[in-house]
Structure 1
Amino acid sequence: MPRYDYRCRSCGDTFEVTRPMSEASAPAACPQGHGDTVKLLSTIAVTGRGGAAPSAPAASGGGCCGGGCGC
């Protein structure tokens, strides 16, 4: 189940609520009992299968431009 971050406008506390996506827009009460809360934007990290990034071709040689132009 996803977690949503909220901030209480009354006391300034931030807190998380775990609920189904179907209830994502439902209001959330502050743990201190305040009702004036705002949902915060959250960032998520998504990785591909296995979490490994595709490998880039290795540079061949040194020099100012990686040896590709023969300088």
Structure 2
Amino acid sequence: MPRYDYRCRACGSTFEVSRPMINASDPAPCPDGHDDTVKLLSTVAVTGTAGGPKPPPSGGGCCGGGCCS
């Protein structure tokens, strides 16, 4: 289940809420009971290929692997 980050405008605290994606835009009250919260932009870094397609081999050089003289 995705987690969403929120910040309370009243007290300044940040908190996470786990909820289905269909409810991603629903309001989330602060743990201290304040209702004036905003959803923060989350960043996700994904690296590696994990079995995905591999890029074609490159030979380098000025022609991308060709035979330049």
Q: Which residue of 2 aligns with 1:45?
A: 45
Root mean square deviation of aligned Cα = 3.1
Q: Which residue of 2 aligns with 1:68?
A: none
Alignment of 1:32 with 2:10, yes or no, is no
Q: Which runs of 5+ in 1 are unaligned?
A: 58-71
TM, length-normalised to structure 1: 0.68
Per-residue CA distance 1:14-66 (angstroms, 9 max, x = gap):
00000000000000000000000000000012234428xx69x7xxxxxxxxx
What secondary structure does 1:50 align onto?
Answer: coil
Q: Which residue of 2 aligns with 1:6?
A: 6
What secondary structure does 2:38 align onto?
Answer: strand
Structure 1 segments, 4+ long, off by >3 Å, are none
Question: Alignment length, in residue pairs?
Answer: 68
Q: Which structure has greater helix proportion?
A: 1
Q: Which residue of 2 aligns with 1:21?
A: 21
Identical residues among aligned pairs (%): 74
